[in-house]
Structure 1
Amino acid sequence: MNVFDRNINFDALFKFSHISASTQEHLKRVYASFALCMFVAAAGAYINVVTHLFQFSLLTGLGALGLMIWLTATPHNRETEQKRLGMLAGFAFLTGINLGPLLQMCISINPSIIPTAFLGTATIFACFSLSALYARRRSFLYLGGFLLSGLTLMLLSSVVNAFVGSTWLFTANLYLGLMIMCGFVLFDTQLIIEKAESGDKDYIWHCVDLFLDFVDIFRELLMILGMTEKKKKEKK
């Protein structure tokens, strides 16, 4: 018997028997929209980094918030589908632009931070998404309460740190935020599955949840890697 002779059944590897066919089709649309968001956001971030047109993120942040509210208020149906996809693309573009100042800061420290953070984010997102897809249905939904509690703790500590100015507390908040956003990937993925199984097929809005999770993880990693690299330079 040849122990190295192993045939991998890729059909079984990507088989989600516990998820209905209609929900699997819905997830394909969600991730296709997610890929569109990533491309548009990357374009927005690149334009801002190269042109330096949007140094103040307040207006673009308000624009992104406005598009999100507009998207929420617009009902999901075939007549509004293209319109809502346009809103989604605009939201992703402005979100990418808002990352411009942080990206410029990382470039000034070490340009290699950006691809490292992106690859790290993609790996984390893929691993936690697959974990949620393969896991038993609703097995991670209990995390919702813990994650919201963690966000509240982060908010309170940020307010305290605004007066204290502790570097240690700021760093702890970054790592806590990273762990919380990883948990949200698990929670949101399974929540999307449950919503789809219940008849909610709004793949555009479901895409927003995953896109924001990815962006938040990317932002946390950028800041963590940037701080680490900056400390290394200061020691030298």
Structure 2
Amino acid sequence: MDAFTSFFDSTSNRWNYNSLMNFRQISPKVQNHLKQVYFTLCFAVVAAAVGAYLHVLFHVGGLLTTLACVGTSVWLLSTPPREERKRVSLLLASSLFQGASIGPLIDLAIQIDPSLIFSAFVGTSLAFACFSGAALVAKRREYLYLGGLVSSGLSILLWLHFASSIFGGSTALFKFELYFGLLVFVGYIVVDTQEIVERAHLGDLDYVKHALTLFTDLAAVFVRILIIMMKNSAQKNEEKKKKRRD
């Protein structure tokens, strides 16, 4: 937790116009690679939106689309980088299946308040832009040490989820998993961005794989932000109903 506190403190000291334009430590080759990564990521997000929309129309999302998402991701990672078009198609297919898998959650959000989806997307985009941007303007390797912390946090989440599925969960445990999970995946955005930059400096210019990594972080953050907003909106609606009854 101290590491995350130091991250926010150091980030707030650097956020000014000059620091935002400070990409001198990133070579032009790596900058072009990052442009490809973020451009491909945008297409992946559009594909996910299409998948979610298909679920709203035809209710196709579920276990099968989740397995298909995992399968296409593994297929992508096992495909040689020289087969660029195939790997991009697999990324878009994986994103489409991911969007369809999130579809039931989005369908529920529409029933509560359709504006929650847009608000969650905007919040996720701002969080991603801020934390990914912070990783880019920071010194090289400065936040890579957070990798151990976020990996440990992810392990804790998995064990908590496993325990709650066996022994039963509580509302407090669910809230902890929700907010702690959001913190963990925001941390992954920072770590993965710096790792992508470092790998690119070492010659790894696989923009499709790097876009998949960031898309996974983005989807995880979006789901948690949307659930938080849905819970808050549902609580407000219940309070309004109670006041009307009184």
Both proteins in one fold, TM over 0.5: yes
Structure 1 residues 194, 44: closer, same or farther in 2, change over 3 A? same
Aligned to 2:136: 133
| Greater CA drift, 117-126 or 153-162 | 153-162
Question: 2:155 matched to which residue of 1?
Answer: 152
Matches within 5 A, 1:191-202: 191-202=195-206
For residue 141 of structure 1, give the secondary structure of its aligned residue in structure 2: coil
1:54 to 37, 60, 66: 60
Identity fraction in percent? 41
Aligned residue for 1:142? Answer: 145
* Equivalent of 2:170 in 158, 166, 171: 166
| Paired residue total | 224
Q: 1:104 aligns with which of 104, 107, 112?
A: 107
Give per-residue Cα distances to partners, 1:120-163, cap 9 Å, x unaligned. Answer: 00000000011000000000100011001101111122222232
Alignment of 1:175 onto 2:189: no
1:99 aligned counterpart, secondary structure: helix
Q: Is 1:24 aligned to residue 31 of structure 2? A: yes
Q: What is the identity, as a one-letter code, of the residue corresponding to 2:222?
A: F
Task: Tell me what 1:116 maps to.
Answer: 119
Uncovered stretches (5+) of structure 1, i.e. residues with no partner: 1-9
After TM superposition, which residue ranges in structure 1, 4 or more long, deviate above 4 angstroms?
10-13
Give the deviation of 1:15 after TM superposition. 4.2
The structure where helix makes up a greater share of residues is 2
Q: Which amino acid aligns with 2:139?
A: R
- Cα deviation per residue 1:22-77 (whole Å; 9 max; x = unaligned)? 1111101101100110111111111211x13315x111111111111111111112
8 A Cα contact 2:79 2:87, kept in partner: yes
The alignment's TM-score, normalised by the length of structure 1, stands at 0.91
Supply the AA of the counterpart residue of 2:49. A
**Which region of structure 1 is more displaced relative to structure 2, 187-196 or 58-67?**
58-67
Quick one: distance in 2 between partners of 1:116 and 1:26?
30
Once residues 174 and 28 of structure 1 are traced to their aligned partners in structure 2, the CA distance between those partners, rounded to angstroms, is 32
* Letter aligned with residue 26 of structure 1: H
Cα gap change, 1:142 to 1:11, in 2 (>3 Å): closer
Query: TM-score, length-normalised on structure 2?
Result: 0.87
Q: 2:52 aligns with which of 23, 45, 56?
A: 45
Determine if contact 2:132/2:190 at 8 Å carries over to the other structure. yes
AA partner of residue 205 (structure 1): K
Any stretches of 5+ residues in structure 2 without a counterpart? 1-16, 242-246
Residue of structure 2 equivalent to 1:5: none
Q: Which of 59, 67, 72 is 1:67 aligned to? A: 72
